[in-house]
Chains A and B, each alone.
Chain A
Amino acid sequence: GAGVSQSPRYKVTKRGQDVALRCDPISGHVSLYWYRQALGQGPEFLTYFNYEAQQDKSGLPNDRFSAERPEGSISTLTIQRTEQRDSAMYRCASSPRGQGAYEQYFGPGTRLTVT
């Protein structure tokens, strides 16, 4: 079946602009995660949802970052007033269950470049 999809795949934006990154998880997956990955590093946890409820947002760097998953499926990560340091690969992952440790399936990512 279809895997996790993300859009856009590439986004170039000017400093100060807002951006919205979209994640479409595997159908039926309860949990959805957002990560940020810098070159040469592993993914860094940002936030996650079970259904529509945001369970943990401790990894969001500051209040310019927010995420929502209003209907428990598609999620949007929004970065307001982008800065150059926000440039990175943003990855979304989903897993089939809300509790316990289950395999997380990653999407292809959105490469964000802030100029």
Chain B
Amino acid sequence: RKEVEQDPGPFNVPEGATVAFNCTYSNSASQSFFWYRQDCRKEPKLLMSVYSSGNEDGRFTAQLNRASQYISLLIRDSKLSDSATYLCVVNGTGGYNKLIFGAGTRLAVHP
């Protein structure tokens, strides 16, 4: 079983739609959780950290369920510029610095 699992997609949605991505992780000791965004042929960039109580940043909402070892990302009012791959990330065994990336979920927003 992979340490971080994501649905690869692609999710094809129209502009303005709401879309949600899910991710599960296997290490119950993980303490740090993130969503990174990666555009085609570019480097990954931090989208947002995920906190236990859930957090929101504009159109983006992240949730964490420690009991189920499950992380989600909700994007409201999708824009064409949201088209990218979204990587779910947790810290691995050995400390906060070792990050384990999921394979990513591809989102394509169309007009």
Q: Specify which chain B residues have a CB less than 8 angstroms from the CB of A31 in the assembled complex.
A: 97
Contacts of B87 in A (CB 8 A): 42-43
A40-B45 in contact given A48-B98, A100-B96, A101-B96 (Cβ < 8 Å): no
Q: Is A27 an interface residue (CB 8 A)?
A: no
Residue B54 at the chain A interface, CB threshold 8 Å: no
A43 — which chain B residues lie within 8 A by C-beta? 44, 87, 99, 101
Tell yes or no: B91 within 8 A of A by CB. Answer: yes
Tier of interface size on chain A: 20 to 34
- How far, in whole Å, are A101 and B94 apart by their CA atoms in the complex? 12
Say yes or no: B94 contacts A104, CB within 8 Å.
no
Asked if A115 is at the interface (CB within 8 A of a chain B CB), the reply is no
What per-residue 1/0 map shows which CB atoms of B37-70 lie under 8 Å from chain A?
0000011111001000000000000000000000
Q: Is the CB of A104 within 8 A of B46?
A: yes
- Number of B residues with CB within 8 Å of any CB on chain A: 26
Q: Which segment, of A15-23, A65-73, A105-113, faces chain B? A: A105-113
Q: List 12 A-B residue pairs with CB atoms under 8 Å apart, sorted by A's residue number.
A: A42-B4, A43-B101, A45-B98, A45-B100, A50-B97, A56-B94, A95-B97, A101-B31, A101-B32, A103-B46, A106-B43, A109-B43
- Chain A interface residues (CB < 8 Å from chain B): 31, 33, 35, 40-45, 48, 50, 55-56, 58-59, 91, 95, 98-101, 103-104, 106-109
The 9 closest A-B pairs by CB, nearest first: A42-B101, A101-B32, A106-B43, A101-B96, A103-B46, A43-B101, A42-B87, A41-B103, A42-B103
